Structure 1
C-alpha cells in the first residue's frame, strides 16, 4: 500500500506541541513519508504540491496560519488540538493514532470550505491581495473615534457602517470573532458571507448573510489614524481614506478532514455549551 506523503505544522518552541509532535513522529515512522515540518513558512512550494495531507499541531491560530498556503495547494488539513478551544483542531493525538489509516485514505471525510479573497487598492494599484479563512476585520483603532464605511454589494449600495468597524466572515469563521460580536452561526459547508457590524451607531444595523458569489466593496468615508484591516487575526494593514477594499469568494478551498465521530454541532455544544438546557437550582424546601 502506498504511504501517504505528509507535512507537519507546529511550533516546536511550545513545550506541549514539541512533545506531541515527537510522539506523532515516532508513531508515523514506517506508516507515512514526512516531507517536512513547515511551521512559520519553512515549506517550499514543491513540498506543498507534493503533499497528500498536512497534520497541524496546536490550536486554531496555528491552523489559520498554515491554511493560506495549504488552501492554495489543495492540501487537506488534519488538526490536532494542543491549544485551548480548538474548533478547527478537531482531533486528539490518540484519535489520530487510532484512526490514522482511515483519516489518510477515506476521501469522504474531506470537507471543502470557502475562503475569502481580500484586495486593498490604493492609488489605483493593488497594495495587498490575500486570503482569509475566518474573517476580514476593519477596526477603528486609535484615536478610537467612530469610523464610517460605505458598503456596496455587487455594485449596489448596502449601508453606511458607522461605528467601531465591520467583520466580514466565512461560515468557518462564523463561530469566531463574528459570534462574539453577535453574528449568526453558519454551517461550515455553506457558501455564504456574514457581514457583522462592530458596535454600530444605530440599533437597526444588524448582521446580514449574503450569497458568497456577490462581491463586497468598501469605501472609507471617515477613518482614524490607526484604522486597520486584519485578516484572520494576523495580516495587518493601515487604511487610508482613498483606499478601496474588495472582498469576494476565493477560487480555492480550505480542505478539512472532519472528525467522523463528532459533528460541528457536537463541537459547539461541547466547547461553548451551545443550546444547553438551563440548570435550575432546587431550593432546600423543594428537596424535602
Structure 2
C-alpha cells in the first residue's frame, strides 16, 4: 500500500508529447489507486491532461513528480507553495545533479519510492530580497544561486558587500554568484568556486572575474546575512546593464544603489531518494571523476 494518495506531475517545457516516459509514470501510479494531478499548462495536448485533474500550486498534494532536468526542478521548486511536499525527479535533461531516477528505470525504481523505501534529502533554500530605496522588488527563495552580472557591454562594476553588517570588500568584477551548497556544483563551480556538501548550511560567494587576484571565493555560515549594493557608476558607464538572475530563470534589472540581501532562514526543500546520501557517487558520475580522458 502506497503512502501517497495524491501525486502532482509536471514536465519540462519542451517535453515531447510522444515520449513514453509519461505513460510509464502513469502506468505505475494508476494501478495503485493514486490520484494524479497533471501540470496541464505544460502538458496541453496530452491525453492524460484531459483524464486527470489540473495541478494548481495551492492545492494539497502528497508528492510532486518532476520529469526533466535540473532546470525543470528549479522551476518546480520556485512554483511550489508547500515546501513540505517531497519531490521525486526523473531525469530527461543532461547533467542532472538533482535528478533521482533515469527515464529508463521508471517502472522499477518509482514503485519502491512510492511504497516508502526511499529517504528524504533536505536541501537548504537561500532567501533573497531585492531593495530599491524603501521598495522591495523581490522576496523569495532560490535553490541554486542568485547571480549579479552585467549585460552585453564588458566592463567591471563595483559591488559593495557586507556580511552581518560588517564590510567584507568591494568587488571590482564582472559580478558575483551567491550560491547554496546545492548550487555549488552549478554556475559557481564553473566560475572557480568550491564544491560544498549539501548537508552543510552555508553560503558561497564567488566573484566573477575579479580585478584583484586576491579576491577569491568565500564560504560563510548560511544564517549570516549578505548585502550586496550596486555602487554608483560614472555617467559614461550608465549604459552598462546590471541584472540579478535567480536560479538561472528569473531576471531583474538592477540600478545604482539597489541592494540584494541573502540569508538562510531554515526553509528547505525535500527530495525523495533511494538512499539518503549519494552525493559523492553523484560527483563521481556527473563530473566523470576517475575516468580516463579520451583522445
1:126 matched to which residue of 2?
136
2:170 matched to which residue of 1?
160
Given that residues 114 and 252 in structure 1 are in contact (C-alpha distance below 8 angstroms), is that contact kept between their aligned partners in structure 2? yes
Q: Deviations over 1:167-224 (max 9, x none)?
A: 0000111100010001000111111010000000011011010000100011111455
Q: 2:66 aligns with which of 32, 44, 56?
A: 56
1:284 matched to which residue of 2?
none
CA 1:199–1:93 in 2, change beyond 3 Å: closer, same or farther? same
Shift of 1:40: 5.6
Map 1:1-288 to 2 at 5 A. 1=1, 4=4, 5-11=6-12, 13-15=14-16, 18-31=19-32, 32-37=34-39, 43-47=55-59, 50-70=60-80, 72-106=82-116, 109-222=119-232, 225-260=240-275, 263-274=278-289, 276=290
CA 1:17–1:261 in 2, change beyond 3 Å: closer, same or farther? farther
How far apart, in 1, do the equivalents of 2:80 and 2:11 lie? 14
CA 1:15–1:36 in 2, change beyond 3 Å: closer, same or farther? closer
Shift of 1:23: 2.3
CA 1:259–1:39 in 2, change beyond 3 Å: closer, same or farther? farther
SS in structure 2 opposite 1:179?
Answer: helix
Q: Deviations over 1:110-168 (max 9, x none)?
A: 11110011111112111111211100000022322101000000001111111100000
How far apart, in 1, do the equivalents of 2:276 and 2:104 lie? 13
SS in structure 1 opposite 2:123?
Answer: strand
CA 1:266–1:39 in 2, change beyond 3 Å: closer, same or farther? farther
How far apart, in 2, do the equivalents of 1:188 and 1:17 lie? 36
Give the TM-score, by structure 2 length.
0.86
Q: Deviations over 1:51-91 (max 9, x none)?
A: 11111001100010001233643211111001111111121
CA 1:107–1:238 in 2, change beyond 3 Å: closer, same or farther? farther
Give the TM-score, by structure 1 length.
0.88
SS in structure 2 opposite 1:29?
Answer: helix
List gaps (5 residues or longer) in structure 2. Answer: 44-53
Root mean square deviation, CA, Å: 2.5
List gaps (5 residues or longer) in structure 1. Answer: 282-288
Shift of 1:99: 3.3
How far apart, in 1, do the equivalents of 2:211 and 2:122 lie? 36
SS in structure 1 opposite 2:193?
Answer: coil
How far apart, in 2, do the equivalents of 1:266 and 1:22 lie? 29
